[in-house]
Copies of this chain bind each other. A is one copy, B any other.
Amino acid sequence: MTADPLLTPVLDRLDADLDAAMARLMNLLRIPSISTDPAYAEPVRQAADWLVEDLTSLGFDASRRDTPGHPMVVGHGGSGGRHLLFYGHYDVQPVDPLDLWDRDPFDPEVQDTPKGKVIRGRGTSDDKGQLMTFVEACRAWKAVHGTLPCKLTLFFEGEEESGSPSLVPFLKEHAEELQAELALICDTGLFADRVPAITTRLRGMLQEEITITGPDKDLHSGTFGGAAINPIRVLSRVLADLHDETGRVTIPGFYDGVAELSDDQRAQWEGLNFDHKAFLGGVGLSDPAGEQDRTPLEMLWSRPTCEINGIWGGYTGAGFKTVLPSKAHAKISFRLVGKQDPHAIRTNLRAMIEAALPADCSVTFETHGAGPASEMDTSDPAFEQARKALTEEWDVEAAMIGCGGSIPVAGYFKEHVGMDAMLIGFGKDDDQLHSPNEKYDVESFHKGMRSWARILAALARD
């Protein structure tokens, strides 16, 4: 590997400026931009404004774009080379249960851990820390060379953690402005500690909220218990019946459009030597809990899932209350793969639940978003260039992997802007995304910036 006269000083600058970059990230992390809870609309807007100001200081023509929901941030800058769009999201997940956090989720700090330094706080990994790796790579390039490396569009969303209701309308309306040769998305992870990856396969998502109503008011279980239907009991049955005893989802037609792995794909995934015992052991588990006849990587990357993300009903406070509640609720999400149709699955789920209800119960549904799975076209030479850049930075062969998560924006870019996407990120499995004590390794942040600097150097020349 020979030193690159354009790249090397940028990497040096990133090393020298790391403390200042962390301080900037801390400022962004302190803004509680929880998008799913309407009470936090103002901090979400503040985070957008913070980014607009930062991008403007780097020479981007940046602005906050208000939507019916939370705002988008769009910045245009640089010229020449390959025109790239970078996507990240500046909103974060809620923080409850707050009592499981070791500190205020929005008072981030750098902590020493047995595995190295980490930045602890909500949004560190998902996705403010990842987003800032790209911004810092741009900043260093600008500082060293006085310009950005190529023509760049930066596009930040504030609704990724709440179903992206404004995203598709915004993409449709601004398709021309957002058009680039390739989208870069930084919301994924390493394949393993210090093993970089390009994610080429994403699961889709369907999110439904279910409310089952029995009696028209909360009842005393002494007066009515035994004769009045209990909606929690009905909900438990409905939810239990979503899986059969082999772990398969029982919704009619659920597996329509789910393809088997090709032999090539299977061989490549076997070559990854995924250590599912370490993966599950890290969260206190040992047995893969999905379909019994599937490998752990299939369960995570190529098979659809049905998860209950929340359930509530009746008395949930301290002590006991012998209430027979009127209503019981659940939030259910499905990770989708292949050509599964989220709308057909929603229809079939609803019909199945309605058919299972006793006569005295009714059900209402609320949808929280739906998007199909997506697979990237890796024949674009950018994938090989980026893989090479990642391999050079991390000194280990970068992997092409699947991802259990859902990043619908990749599919939307393709569908509404006609733009392919490449997903590269630096999160780790133990980052506790969406959980208490979320963290981002300082190594992820530092080598993430350096990775983007290398990738920009490689792609800008094209």
* The 5 nearest A-B residue pairs measured at CB: A222-B405, A36-B319, A216-B284, A310-B314, A236-B239
Task: Report the minimal beta-carbon distance from A372 to chain B, rounded to whole angstroms.
Answer: 15
Cβ A221 vs Cβ B311 within 8 A:
no
Contacts of A230 in B (CB 8 A): 289, 307-308
Contacts of A360 in B (CB 8 A): 284-287, 289
Task: Report the minimal beta-carbon distance from A322 to chain B, rounded to whole angstroms.
Answer: 5
Cβ A209 vs Cβ B320 within 8 A:
yes
Contacts of A368 in B (CB 8 A): 319-320
Cβ A317 vs Cβ B403 within 8 A:
no
Interface set, chain A 392-410, CB cutoff 8 A to B: 403-406
A161, B215: Cα distance in complex, Å? 22
Contacts of A365 in B (CB 8 A): none
A230, B283: Cα distance in complex, Å? 12
**A290 within 8 Å of B by Cβ?**
yes
Interface set, chain A 239-286, CB cutoff 8 A to B: 239-243, 276, 279-280, 283-286
Contacts of A313 in B (CB 8 A): 308, 310-312
Give the interface size bracket for A toward B: 35 or more
Contacts of A320 in B (CB 8 A): 36, 162-163, 207, 209, 309, 331, 333, 368-369
Contacts of A312 in B (CB 8 A): 311-313, 316
**A180 within 8 Å of B by Cβ?**
no
A307, B162: Cα distance in complex, Å? 34
Contact with B along A301-332 (1 / 0, CB 8 A): 00111011111111111111111110011110
Q: Which A residues form the contact surface with B (CB < 8 A)?
A: 35-38, 93-94, 96-97, 100, 126, 161-163, 189, 203, 205, 207, 209, 214-230, 232-233, 235-237, 239-243, 276, 279-280, 283-290, 296, 299-300, 303-305, 307-325, 328-331, 333, 335, 358-360, 368-369, 403-406, 429, 432-437
Cβ A316 vs Cβ B307 within 8 A:
no
Contacts of A331 in B (CB 8 A): 314-316, 320-321
A435, B324: Cα distance in complex, Å? 9
Contacts of A276 in B (CB 8 A): 227
* 22 cross-chain CB contacts under 8 A: A35-B319, A36-B319, A100-B217, A207-B322, A218-B436, A221-B434, A224-B283, A224-B404, A225-B300, A225-B404, A227-B279, A228-B280, A229-B287, A230-B289, A236-B239, A239-B240, A285-B360, A309-B320, A310-B314, A310-B315, A311-B312, A312-B312
